[in-house]
Amino acid sequence: MRAFIPVVFPTGLMITMDFTAIAAMFRVAWTPPLRYIMSRMAELIVEQWPDAAFAFTEVGKDCQPWELVDGAPHVKDSPECRLLYPLAPGDLGGFVPPSREEVGPLDLLHFSPRVMDNRTEEVKDEVTLSVATMGQDQRHRTIQRGLPRFTRGFYLPPVARELGLGEQALSLVGEWGQMMGNDRLRPIGHLLAPYGAMVRYPRVANLAAFIHEGDKRLCWCSQQEIYEVARQRREQLANVGHPVVPYLSPHCVSSGVCLEGVRCCGRDPVARKANPFPYREI
């Protein structure tokens, strides 16, 4: 469910929420599912603390589905990552190269005083991936995203493409796009978006978060779309000579040792060093 809940509950999904966050989300709830969830939360709170009713006087009313970017329906066989403002090496005077032990297996990047200044330098990018994978992308809570916008693209994984499902995918995204183009049907179209429908949104992360993400998402155990976005980002940062690039790698590449145990992808870490970040079919 972590992959699909963010589609109908369009914000960061947290284990706990404080009172002011619930009241604020109640006030701006703009989709039917979100309005229902926040109304139920408000009811439970008021049952326990009747004096809190003042904070829940007006639930969100406006339904504002994510924008559909103009263009023709199309099928894509890869997600995309595009750097928006990679910082130049000269802007990173405070960057402290982390040690392998600070990156993992325990993440010390956010706690060690030695590398704490890396949390104040940022890189911004824009990703385009399937709406199903968007939820997985949001699991990294130290990476912030902006408002998603639907494209008219449909992500078709390599295996599905080889099975000849491209025409069906194109037909599906075309019909769904017609629904999204109708003002009255757009709220329903948003909620019924095919899992392969692609969304585009900007992301901002500090260098400590990017290093941690690279350690996890460039591992072959990660989802294919997630891996591919991380691979493209690393390649683009390398093209501009960003000094953080050498630290964007999983443990097996940087140390020759896999930490996944029985979940190991099966590829020899020594062999992977010869071609550490190839395009993956699965």
- Tens of pLDDT along 147-171? 899 999 999 988 888 899 999 999 9
Buried b (16+ CB within 10 A) or exposed e, 213-240: bbbbbbbbebbbbbbbbbbbbbebbeee
Please give the Cα distance from 110 to 212 (Å, whole number): 9
Instruction: Give whichever of 95-104, 190-199, 269-278 has the largest mean pLDDT.
Output: 190-199
pLDDT confidence of residue 60: 66
More confident residue, 9 or 169: 169
Q: What is the pTM of this model?
A: 0.81
pLDDT confidence of residue 65: 75
Average pLDDT, stretch 84-113? 75
pLDDT confidence of residue 167: 93
Among the residue ranges 22-31, 136-145, 193-202, the one predicted with the least confidence is 136-145
Confidence check: pLDDT of 88 > 70: no
Q: What percent of the chain has pLDDT over 90?
A: 26
C-alpha separations of 220 from 169, 182, 215 in Å: 27, 41, 11
Please give the Cα distance from 245 to 53 (Å, whole number): 51
pLDDT confidence of residue 263: 82
pLDDT confidence of residue 90: 47
Q: What is the mean pLDDT of the chain?
A: 84
Average pLDDT, stretch 65-82? 88
* Bridge partners (DSSP) listed for residue 205: 123
Confidence check: pLDDT of 35 > 70: yes
Confidence check: pLDDT of 197 > 50: yes
pLDDT confidence of residue 8: 61
**Token pair in block for residue 123:** 């890189």
pLDDT confidence of residue 228: 94
Average pLDDT, stretch 268-274? 78
More confident residue, 120 or 15: 120
Domains of the chain with CATH codes: 5-55 (no CATH), 74-272 (3.30.1360.170)
**Token pair in block for residue 48:** 């326990």
